[in-house]
Amino acid sequence: MNLELIINLSYIVSAALFIFGLKMLSSPASARKGNMLSALGMLLAVVATLLTQGLAFKWIIIGVAVGGILGILSARLIAMTAMPEMVALLNGSGGIASLLVGWAVYHFQPASSVLTTFTIFLSVLIGGVTFTGSLIAWAKLSEKLPGKPIMYPGQKIVNVLILVAIIAGGIIYCMNPAANYSIFLGIVGLSLILGILVVIPIGGADMPVVISLLNSYSGLAACAAGFVIQNNILIVAGSLVGASGIILTQIMCKAMNRSLGNVLFSGFGSTVQKQSADVEGEVKPIVVADAYFILEAARSVTFVPGYGMAVAQAQHAVRELGEILEANGAEVTYAIHPVAGRMPGHMNVLLAEANVPYDQLIEMDDINPIIETVDVAVVIGANDVVNPAARHDEASPIYGMPIINVDKAKTVFVLKRSMNTGFAGVQNELFYYDNTRMLFGDAKQSIQGLVAEFKN
């Protein structure tokens, strides 16, 4: 069996592993195995590709070892609460890699075929936008930049003009690539600038959509790079990532009842719209000791995690309280809103890290029909995704967004540091409802206080 046949068979096996791994990622119970299958497929693809270049096994092993060490360090040292930032950087890494591949091929082979020339242009454009866009997303998520949208007059016109200039430059470059190196460099520069400008007007509340969209961009850039170097497995892998990212983006938009165009161009959160009616009622605070007595008598408890739980790093304490409640005879569930947190599946990741059983994680569409039977709903750091105004207040910026209807539970505990609004900038009506009790303070400390009450 010759080397070329072995390499092609390796590519087929890698593609199959990618597909099965991606399928398994759709369920929390099989996600870990799916990730391992995909990693195995990537290892096989990388080794096979390096063999086509005649690279000695010694250097392949060294490269795998260095990459493996970096991966282990990243997984061990990066906190789970910083996972959205890490995902943004990984997306950016994929983008800049595709850009550099396209640039390298053009630099050493300027007189390429029309297909290669065009795909070089695409890999540079999409890769550049992905790289700088991901850096801005990382800066917003890590609070290096303001989470609020950054807007300026004529912003959309500037973006359109830059895109037109890139396309025009791409046409000129493709007509005679060997003689237009300066135009190519201009395309690289404008692509990097465009990536910055398209992400700065997007607010922190829309980061789940942006992260999934940038993930799709990185896949499309990799696919284009695959055509550039004529590597079948890179084309397949890039196509899978690009397609799955687009599907996930659509799911995120649907969960927010907004279009992708609205997310990208509306500057959601840059202004605060006035609600159609003032929130009426009186806030009813509660202390840990009193909350304990209510939970001790509850037969069903649903936790609703949000970004505040991630900030407080309260997931382990929540899991411990859940186990105590189960031992006390209560049925415990965790209601997950699709866009809670700062990346797709953010709450699932945090709760999985705390070893919360997968079968206790309930999606929004499944918990809402039975929420009225829940004795106590415990909202931990969530705000806009549980605001009843989304159902009836047409003047609210979150009107029409599907929410978890925790207000219909028999009793609601809201764990917050203060009465500050969520990212949408509107007061949460839930805080003033008769069945709501506000447990103010750090979420982790409040949950640990409840755990201590049960143990005592």
CB atoms within 10 A of CB 140: 27
Please list the active-site residues. 384
C-beta separation of 261 from 408 below 8 A: no
Residue type, 113: S
Angle CA 388–390–393, to nearest 5: 95
Q: pLDDT digit string (tens) for 186-217?
A: 999 999 999 999 999 887 667 788 888 999 99
Ramachandran category for residue 335: left, alpha or beta (phi over 0 → left; psi -120 to 50 → alpha): beta
Token reading at 348: 């699932």
**Who's near 203: CB < 8 A, 6+ residues apart?**
147, 148, 149, 267, 268, 269, 270, 423
Would you state the pLDDT for residue 275?
Answer: 47
DSSP letter for 381, please.
Answer: S
Q: pLDDT digit string (tens) for 353-404?
A: 888 998 899 999 999 999 999 999 999 988 888 999 888 887 777 788 889 9
Give the CA count within 13 Å in the CB-facing half-sphere of 311.
18
The whole-angstrom separation of Cα 340 and Cα 296 is: 28
Q: Beta strands 331-336 and 300-305: pairing type?
A: parallel
Residue 268 has pLDDT above 60, yes or no: no
Q: pLDDT digit string (tens) for 413-429?
A: 999 887 776 665 678 88
Would you state the pLDDT for residue 436?
Answer: 93
Sorted by where each starts, the structural domains of the chain and their CATH numbers stand as 78-265 (no CATH), 288-455 (3.40.50.1220)
For the chain, the first-to-last Cα distance in angstroms comes to 70
The whole-angstrom separation of Cα 110 and Cα 103 is: 10
The whole-angstrom separation of Cα 64 and Cα 75 is: 16
Strand blocks (E) in 204-363: 300-305, 331-336, 361-363
Closest CA to 141 of 204, 198, 211, 215: 204
Largest Cα separation within the chain, whole Å, is 79
Closest CA to 48 of 12, 16, 102: 12
- Using 50, 70 and 90 to split pLDDT, how confident is the model at 219? very high
